Amino acid sequence: MATTSDIKNGLCIVHNNDLYMVIDFQHVKPGKGPAFVRTKLKNIKTGKVVDNTFSAGHKIETARVEKRTHQFLYKDDFGFHFMNADTYEQVMIEKTMIESPDLIKDGQEVDILYHAEKEIALTCELPAYVELEITYTEPGLKGDTATNATKPATLETGAEIQVPLFINQGDKIKVDTRARAYGERVK
């Protein structure tokens, strides 16, 4: 058992019989009244973010989780299949457990979060940036780069994002997986 003084970003706790990850926290000691901890908790199963306030010294139950590196193999009707890089063990993850499943390409490495005691896969986290090739986009007009105008582009995985006008078909770009946005062009 831990207390509210042990709360930090990334900590997994059991709250209301569900697993939550602490996204943000703030210790507050008002001038009048007892201290408390204001938190933002993300439900690991559903992805829903809730605000919760704990009184100072409140006992919380922590959950032990581990990140393991896996390589994406293929996708079928049952879900996404990954292989553990160390043990060569294969794992199937449902589409709902992945933040941006349409940004994963064959052979890409991802981190899968496991509940250590139960050996259950909880979520699949993509790297912050992935390099993908543009398979289709409308050609940009020469000299039309003064504004921050964007156009739709289809990536090699089938995902569609907005890119600047100077990006052409066949270019490789870095895509921010958290914001699903254009990062930069790769040479």
Domain count, the chain: 3
pLDDT, residue 120, reads: 87
pLDDT, residue 165, reads: 86
Kindly give, in sequence order, each residue whose CB lies less than 8 Å from that of residue 181, ignoring residues fewer than 6 positions away: 161, 162, 175
Q: Strand, coil or helix: what is 137?
A: strand
pTM of the model: 0.76
pLDDT, residue 71, reads: 95
Last residue of a domain, one of 125, 151, 173: 125
Q: Exposure string (b/e) for 82-93, b if CB count within 10 Å is 16 or more?
A: beeeeeeeebeb
Average pLDDT over residues 95-108: 89
CATH of the domain at 151: 2.40.50.140
pLDDT, residue 142, reads: 65
Q: Which two tokens stand for residue 96?
A: 């709902």
Q: Is the pLDDT of residue 122 over 90?
A: no
Average pLDDT over residues 124-148: 83
Q: Are residues 49 and 81 in the same domain?
A: no
CATH of the domain at 6: 2.30.30.30
Q: Are residues 69 and 120 in the same domain?
A: yes
146: left (phi over 0), alpha (psi -120 to 50) or beta: alpha
Last residue of a domain, one of 125, 151, 174: 125
> Residue 73 sits in which domain range?
65-125
Mean pLDDT estimate for the chain: 90
Q: Considering only residues 83 and 97, tell me which one the structure prediction assigns the higher pLDDT.
A: 83
pLDDT, residue 129, reads: 94
Q: Are residues 114 and 70 in the same domain?
A: yes
Q: Which residue, 124, 125, 134, is CA-closest to 174? A: 134
